[in-house]
Amino acid sequence: MVVFVDASHGDADGAKSRSAVILTLAGAVFHWICRKQSCVARSSTVAEIFAVSDAFEELEYLHGFFSELGLNQDKYLVFNDNATAVTSAYKSTGKRTKTANIRYAQCRDWIEGDRAVLRRIGGAENPADALSKAVTPAVHLRHRLVYMGTTPGAVQELANQWGLSTNHRTSNG
């Protein structure tokens, strides 16, 4: 399973940011989230941290669900397009992001337990980008290929770059 995460910082309607999460399995999108965040983020980095935290909550649930089905994956690959949010997952960044540091506790548990890897991806390559904000038709068409599962090689290629497998093992073998 490969996860793509993005956030938009604030909007005119209540100033709450929007989280976007896309989960792919075997190169195709099988689950997605697009929702307003529960609290106001004071910066775009905090909005991204909240979105990554939302992704890890969903990943926790789906990991349990797939494990019950006998489909196990040792490590998950999570992509986000904010460099500071990615760095913050590996270490606390100080007082300015205290609330975000608390929200990131679950993410750090997964990362420190070697169950997940969080890496930066360029915004243009992040298919979750189109769920968090308005994008041009050209960008939408590019991401549509991922949404429809017509580019499974692209997701597999990303996983291979980081030395991870997107294939599931069954508990029988």
Joined tokens for residue 104: 């990131």
pLDDT at 9 over 90: no
pLDDT level of residue 120 (50, 70, 90 thresholds): very high
Global pTM value: 0.80
| Dmax (CA) of the chain | 52
Lowest mean pLDDT across 15-19, 44-48, 99-103: 99-103
Look at residue 173 in the predicted model and tell me its pLDDT.
44
Q: Average pLDDT, whole number, for the chain?
A: 79
User: b/e string for 37-52 if b means 16 or more Cβ within 10 A?
Assistant: beeebbebbbbbbbbb
What is the mean predicted confidence (pLDDT) over 106-122? 88
Q: CA–CA separation, 151 vs 154, rounded Å?
A: 6
Q: CA–CA separation, 88 vs 65, rounded Å?
A: 28
Look at residue 95 in the predicted model and tell me its pLDDT.
62
Lowest mean pLDDT across 7-21, 121-135, 148-162: 148-162
Look at residue 99 in the predicted model and tell me its pLDDT.
63
Look at residue 65 in the predicted model and tell me its pLDDT.
92
Q: CA–CA separation, 143 vs 103, rounded Å?
A: 29
pLDDT at 160 over 50: yes
First to last CA, the chain: 18
What is the mean predicted confidence (pLDDT) over 67-80? 90
Q: Which residue has the tokens 């309607």?
A: 13
Q: Which residue has the tokens 């030395």?
A: 163
The answer as to CATH 3.20.20.60 being correct for domain 2-168 is: no
Look at residue 102 in the predicted model and tell me its pLDDT.
73
Q: Which residue has the higher pLDDT, 58 or 42?
A: 58
- Give me the torsion for CA of 94, 33, 75, 123, rounded to 10°: -60
List 36's β-bridge partners, or say none.
18
